Copies of this chain bind each other. A is one copy, B any other.
Amino acid sequence: MTKNLILIQCKDQIGLVATISRILADHTLNITSMREFVDEQSASFFTRIECSGLLPSLKALQIELERELPSKAAVRINPNQEKKIAILVTKEYHCLADTLSRHFFKSLDAEVCCVIGNHSNLSDFTRRFEIPFHHVSHENLSKADFENEIADILQNYSPDYIVLSKFMRILSPEFIKQFENRIINIHHSFLPAFIGASPYRQAYERGVKIIGATAHFVTNDLDEGPIIVQQIIPVNHAFSVNDMVVAGKEVETAVLSKALTLLLQDRVFIAGNKTVIFE
């Protein structure tokens, strides 16, 4: 029995579940797991269906679903299971090390096609895993030239997703547009608290009792894209800024790891500036 995955995002209307499940039954596909959500505010319908059975013609099923569903329905059947990700880094190793270790032991659900750093200090580590490391310094380059050089490298690899793994440069709208809905960032605070630079210093100055991290899609607005995963850890008055930085690395690593798993298992839908996630 083949396992199939079907993802649908469309305008909501009466009887969608009945329509979809009837079509699947007609194709002798048995639903083993179905998650659906209706966002009443935007009248949008989302479903993620795991079903078993032989898929005679993926194309026929796609056409039939699109014909019977509301117009402009986004239907994905068995999306690419051999996804590729590119990783952008600056100097911090913790998120990169976690991703590369998972990749090495084949538990990442994706291939890491390359690592690009605006500093070179993560080059040695990366190459120990036989993954190409490209050093693109931002120094002595205009922002446009810097980004073009990165974009050129990325286009060569055709990654499904680009992971900003503690990449500390702000990307321009032009760059982001080239990879719309495909750039993921890990921000070192529980957004929307402490947007922008030095969130741990901001947290220290404010005297908060929890710090956190947020994995989100990157859009034109800094730290404003759809949130995928957030988590926190407790801190107290005895934490210096540096103690927060050290403690924060743990939660950043965990949050990015979780977000990548959700994303690479096709569990994340983008819905405006939010996400719908079927864990």
Contacts and interface: CB of A to CB of B under 8 A. Distances in A.
A33 B38 contact: yes
Interface residues of A, number: 61
A3 interface: no
Contact of A230 (B97, B210, B246): B210
Interface of A: 14-18, 21-22, 24-25, 30-39, 93-94, 97-98, 101, 104-105, 107, 125, 128-129, 190-194, 206-210, 212, 226-232, 236-238, 246, 250, 254, 257, 271, 273-277
B210 A192 contact: no
Nearest to A274: B207
A271 B237 contact: yes
A232 B207 contact: no
A118 to B, nearest CB: 18
Where chain A touches its partner, the secondary structure class is: mixed
A266 B39 CA distance: 22
A271 B238 CA distance: 12
B230 A209 contact: yes
B275 A237 contact: yes
> What are the nearest 4 A-B pairs in CB distance?
A207-B274, A97-B101, A193-B193, A18-B25
A227 to B, nearest CB: 5
Contacts of A39: 237
Contacts of A93: 101, 104-105
21 contacts: A14-B30, A15-B25, A16-B31, A18-B25, A32-B38, A34-B34, A93-B105, A98-B98, A98-B101, A105-B125, A190-B232, A191-B193, A191-B206, A193-B193, A206-B227, A207-B274, A208-B227, A210-B212, A210-B230, A237-B274, A254-B254
A105 B97 contact: yes
Contacts of A277: 236-237
Contacts of A101: 93-94, 97-98, 101
Contacts of A35: 35
Contacts of A250: 254, 257
Contacts of A230: 208-210
A113 to B, nearest CB: 19
A192 B194 contact: yes
A208 B24 CA distance: 34
A24 B30 contact: no
A254 B18 CA distance: 38
